[in-house]
Structure 1
Amino acid sequence: MWKLACLFKTFIFLYMIQEISSHFEFTNFKCKSDDEKFAEIEICQLKSINRTYKYAYLKVKLHQTPITKVKVNLALFKRFNGYRPFMYNITFDACRFLKNIYTGSTDLIIKYFYQFIATTSNMNHTCPYDHDIIVVLPINVMDNQFSKVLPFPEGDYMVGTHWFANDIRRAALKLYGTLS
């Protein structure tokens, strides 16, 4: 009888642990164009539909098209007395990545971060880019990627990106959030 009671308590405990989940929330979104003649950031903001549904919205007007050579530096930071590098700092050729994404010869880390915007932006095709860039990043995508696909520890995070076209830095984006 004692073993059955212990087994039941263990089952209840494991069930309760399974119900505990993380939640990601946006805290800030900063965008900076380094060359306004090349690209102008028209909209860079967090929008809130209600208390639980928020999204990051970015619209970039490209003035010098077509863009055929794009590199991205992507870094993940965690707050420890200021934001410090945390796990990832990758620079990659975005055009080559998008060309090879479905062949299986791509870096899994880059593919993980690409899944944030794959279905919510118009950057889901290979170069050249001859149109404005629009990204709508809902909180549920961030929540899923940070807590279910690849769980991260609780804390404050920043995803920082630097965008290069023709080997010249053109823009920097910083998306801040809290995982609790």
Structure 2
Amino acid sequence: MSVTNRFSESTLMATLMQLLLWIGLWYISKVHGVAKFTNIECLSGDLNFTTISLCRLYAVKRDVVEMSLRANVIYWPKGRIAMRMQLLKKASGYKPFLYNIYQSDVCEYLEKRNHPFVNIILNSFGNRTNVNKCPIPSEIILEHFRFPVKVLDRIPLPSGDYGLFTTFSSLKKELVQVKVYFTLTEYR
């Protein structure tokens, strides 16, 4: 076997490997799935701060669930309102998965929009909420919000059950916690 034949065989092998890699990536990109909300919990840690009048999921179709939330802020604390957003995955209970973000000032975040994961979540609300900038209104509304399936293009997650826990606090005192549970099921 000559040097030329070996070179052409290795070039052919490299080209074949690249082709197989591209076919594999194309196949993976064609995986679609169903994502839907499964539960929501809204907990008020301080009833003098807020009352939650609506915290509910509505089944629209078999695989479509909408979330609605209404909270009335009774008084605003004197300090900053901090936010912690955690993504958890179910595996013998809900365990931390990928994200645990702490924003020390919600108004500062709403002005700067400086965290990609939080941006993806809050931008998916679109015109379904009245919270877009400060000052935050005294009645916080999120209505008929469906799971944003397009978000999964930016944050690919494996199949499973997840929880997105968001906690608002002031002066190290927990004021409100919203726990949103959802499930992802892949199919081809």
Q: Is the 8 A contact 1:66 1:129 kept in 2?
A: no
Paired letter, 1:119? N
Q: 1:57 offset after TM fit, Å?
A: 0.7
Q: 1:70 offset after TM fit, Å?
A: 2.0
Q: Is the 8 A contact 1:60 1:134 kept in 2?
A: yes
The superposition leaves residues 88-127 of structure 1 with CA deviations (integer Å, 9 ceiling, x where unpaired) of 11110211011113xxxx122221222232432111112x
The SS at the match of 2:61 is coil
- In the other structure, the counterpart of 1:108 is 116
Match of 1:123 among 125, 131, 155: 131
TM value normalised by structure 2: 0.76
Match of 1:139 among 146, 162, 185: 146
- In the other structure, the counterpart of 1:36 is 47
1:97 aligns with 2:109: yes
Q: 1:81 offset after TM fit, Å?
A: 0.9
Q: Is the 8 A contact 2:53 2:70 kept in 1?
A: yes
Paired letter, 1:75? Q
Q: 1:137 offset after TM fit, Å?
A: 5.6
Give the gaps of 5 or more residues in structure 2: 1-19
Q: Is the 8 A contact 1:62 1:131 kept in 2?
A: yes
Counterpart-to-counterpart distance in 1, 2:146 and 2:183:
11
The superposition leaves residues 59-101 of structure 1 with CA deviations (integer Å, 9 ceiling, x where unpaired) of 0011115888321110000011110000111110211011113
Match of 1:50 among 51, 61, 65: 61
- Report sequence identity in percent: 26
The superposition leaves residues 146-166 of structure 1 with CA deviations (integer Å, 9 ceiling, x where unpaired) of x22221111100000111245
1:78 aligns with 2:89: yes
- In the other structure, the counterpart of 2:153 is 148
Paired letter, 2:150? N
The superposition leaves residues 124-149 of structure 1 with CA deviations (integer Å, 9 ceiling, x where unpaired) of 112x22420001363242x221x222
Match of 1:21 among 28, 32, 45: 32
The SS at the match of 1:135 is strand
Give the gaps of 5 or more residues in structure 1: 1-9
Counterpart-to-counterpart distance in 1, 2:127 and 2:70:
16
Q: Is the 8 A contact 1:38 1:170 kept in 2?
A: yes
Q: Which has the larger radius of gyration?
A: 2
- The two structures, once aligned, show a CA RMSD in angstroms of 2.6
